[in-house]
Every structure is written in structure tokens, then in C-alpha cells.
Amino acid sequence: MVDERELLQRSSEFTGRITASVTHELSNVLGTIEQVIGLIDDLALTEPVQAAGLSEKLVSVVGRIENQTQRGTELVRRLNKFAHLSDAAVTDGDLTALLENITTLSQRFAGLKKVHLTATGLDQPLAITTDWLATAQLVFR
């Protein structure tokens, strides 16, 4: 028979593994988009595109797509770190990095309540041994 704590651990491991796998795939998608952005940017500088008066418009669109792609890449990177919190029940790590990551990942929730979250004073690592997923949940709450 499986007790409740073991069931929660299995559920966390499952969720973490699926999320880590999906964030890896999303990184590949964003990488492809970044490559296409580079191609469009190069094309914007060609003589036919400039002669057609489309160069400025393409460069503007490329800039907007590039900003969103960078934002997405950063969110996916942070979500991947979050997904790996369930890799081990208790392990050594950096509390400063966790606080920064949870703060960034929680900004949308805060924004919906008209609150802006920032992590300040996190200049140096703070090494601790903990259950990182439980600590992340505590920080989030």
C-alpha cells in the first residue's frame, strides 16, 4: 500500500519529468524561431526588400519577435529549473537562486492582483540542504 507522502512524491516526480521534457522541446521551438528571425533580419537588408520599402517594417517586426522570443526563452529556462526541483527529495542547493526563480515565475500571478514582485538583495548564494520543492511551495505561498 502506498502512503500519502509517497503518492505526493511520485506525483511531483511525474509532473517534474513531464515539465522538464516539455521545456526542453519548447527551447528547441524557440531556437528555431530565433534562427528564422536572423534570416528575416538578413533579408531585410537585401536590395530588393529595401527597394520595395519593406526593410524598416521587417526590422521592426523582427525586433518585436526577438523581444518576445527572448522573454519566452527566459521563462522556459526558469520553468525547467523549477521542474527539476522534484529530482531529489532533499539535496544541497542555493536558496538565493530559488527565491529569484520563484519570484520571476510568480510575477504573472502577482500582476493579476496589480502587484509587482522583485527579488532584491540576492547578491550572494546561500547554500542550504532542503526539500527544494517543499521550499518553493512555501516561498510561493
**Element of type H or E holding 130:** strand 127-130
Summarised one tens digit per residue, pLDDT across range 79-129 is 999 999 988 889 999 999 999 999 999 999 999 999 998 888 778 999 999
Specify which residues 91 forms β-bridges with: 130
Taking all residues of the chain, what is their mean pLDDT, rounded to a whole number? Answer: 92
| pTM reported for the whole predicted model | 0.83
- CA 12-137-85 angle, 5° bins: 45
CA atoms of 36 and 31, how far apart (whole Å): 9
94 backbone dihedrals φ, ψ, rounded to 5°? -110, 110
Q: What is the dihedral of CA 109, 114, 115, 117, to 10 degrees?
A: 50
- Which carries the bigger pLDDT value, residue 71 or residue 11? 71
In 3D, which of 11, 14, 21 has the Cα closest to residue 79? 21
What's the pLDDT score for residue 100? 92
